[in-house]
Amino acid sequence: MKKFAVSTARPYDIIIGKNILEKAGAYINTCLPPCRLCIITDSTVNSIYAQVVMTSLMEHGYQTSKIVFPAGEHSKNLTTYSNILEAMADEGLTRSDAVVALGGGVVGDLAGFAAATYMRGIPYIQIPTTYMAAIDASVGGKTGINLLCGKNLAGAFWQPSMVFCDYHTFDSLPPAKLMDGIAEAVKCAAVSEESLLPHIRKKDYEYVIERCVSIKKSIVEADERDTGLRQILNFGHTVGHGIEKLSSFSVSHGQAVAKGLIVEARAAYRFGLAPVDIASPLQDILAEMGFDLSVDYSPEEIYQYALMDKKIMGDRITMVIPESLGKCRLHKISLSELQKFIRLGMKE
Ligand code: NAD
Ligand code: GLY
């Protein structure tokens, strides 16, 4: 078992281990006194893991309830969010109660946003059950939902009271969902630690989760509200979010990020902003791991979508520019340059 202490404005621990799910209650006891805990989860995770978590919580003095919504990115919307809030109110949850987000990044983002806004904010615990959520989504307090115009356009920064990760839960993940996490791990390696790549290839989950969490923890501690450094974690996401949305989410977040990494890395080099072309090595790694890196949309379609990117301030957007594999910097370009940037990244 590993523990990371995150020093954000509201500090919390990240616990990572194997086969620890049934001890959830004991760990949560260290940060929350007995209260009502509302488990928010999706239909798939509910059928596999909700009971063991609920039993553990009850054994440690918590009263529990559960809200379940249909699995998938399509649920990450205003309707599900509003249903969750109404259900929390129906149950009579108070400010001394808390939410448990049990599932992947969709559950974490939705349940976290509900916790952030219910009665102006109640505590929540993240229990990630996907590789994606373990290495990225559960850490750092970004919560939110998609709007019709785009991904994650409504949300809040709301740090959890604890992240409790049992990576044994990955054993039930379909291979495609594991791949999603691999894409985000490759992004982490590309922006911060090249030496992670062989571990990602070897599927050394324990090592990769611990390194990604440690890297993200340092970045979030330095820039909790995403006004600077934290934006490097968005490498590949300006294009990736566009692909995800344009496909009506038939291309998953991880698959879209993999494509976005290649387009943005290639664009940075061809635009003359990056001294090296890291698109080539990234393409080799991602292709070897089985990613389809083709993009079925035009640069114009992706550009139109990119105009909703949260890294736009006025008429400029901050892009992540590789300096080498494992090191990136931020650089602002104008929106008219962005059009050319995307076009260059997509040209064969
Ligand atoms: P997800 O939450 O939709 O989970 C993927 C699928 O796997 C779902 O169908 C789910 O039911 C199923 N599943 C989850 N755990 C399982 C398990 N252990 N066994 C079997 N099936 C399981 O998707 P995701 O890839 O975890 O997360 C993607 C989302 O996370 C996107 O919405 C993305 O925007 C968001 N995200 C947020 C942040 C952040 O910082 N807040 C960071 C990265 C990604
Ligand atoms: N997933 C990017 C971030 O948390 O900033």
* pLDDT at 72 (0 to 100): 98
Q: Which residues contact 34 (CB under 8 A, 6 or more apart)?
A: 60, 61, 62, 63
* pLDDT at 202 (0 to 100): 95
- Nearest alpha carbon to residue 89 among 113, 74, 63, 67: 67
14, 21, 44, best to mutate for ligand 1 pocket (most atoms within 8 Å of CB): 44
Question: Does 253 contact ligand 2 (Cβ within 6 A)?
Answer: no
In the chain, the DSSP E strands lie at 2-6, 12-17, 36-42, 63-69, 98-103, 124-128, 142-147, 150-157, 162-166, 312-313, 316-324, 327-334
Name the residue at shortest CA distance from atom 3 of ligand 2. Answer: 233
* pLDDT at 348 (0 to 100): 80
Tokens of 67: 């809200």
Sheet containing strand 312-313, strands side by side? 312-313, 316-324, 327-334
Identify the nearest ligand to the CA of 132 by its number: 1
Beta bridge partners of 24: none
Ligand 1: centre distance to CA 130 (Å): 6
Question: Does 107 contact ligand 1 (Cβ within 6 A)?
Answer: yes
Q: Please tell me the distance from the alpha carbon of residue 221 to that of residue 46, in angstroms, as a whole number.
A: 32
- Nearest alpha carbon to residue 128 among 32, 17, 204: 17
Tokens of 56: 């553990």
Burial class (CB in 10 A: 0-12, 13-18, 19+), 90: exposed
Residue 220, number of CB atoms within 10 A of its CB = 23
The pLDDT tens digits of the residues spanning 165-215 come to 999 999 999 999 999 999 999 999 999 999 999 999 999 999 999 999 999
Profile the chain (348 residues) by mean pLDDT over runs of 10 residues: 97 98 98 98 98 98 98 98 98 98 98 98 98 98 97 98 98 97 98 98 96 98 98 98 97 98 98 98 97 98 96 97 98 97 94
Ligand 2: centre distance to CA 219 (Å): 9
Q: Please tell me the distance from the alpha carbon of residue 306 to that of residue 242, in angstroms, as a whole number.
A: 6
CA dist 280 to 178, 275, 320, Å? 23, 13, 17
Tokens of 206: 């324990």
Identify the nearest ligand to the CA of 310 by its number: 2
HSE on the CB side for 108, CA within 13 Å?
30
Ligand 1: centre distance to CA 129 (Å): 8
Question: Does 140 contact ligand 2 (Cβ within 6 A)?
Answer: yes
- Nearest alpha carbon to residue 39 among 87, 76, 74, 80: 87
* pLDDT at 29 (0 to 100): 97
Ligand 2: centre distance to CA 64 (Å): 30
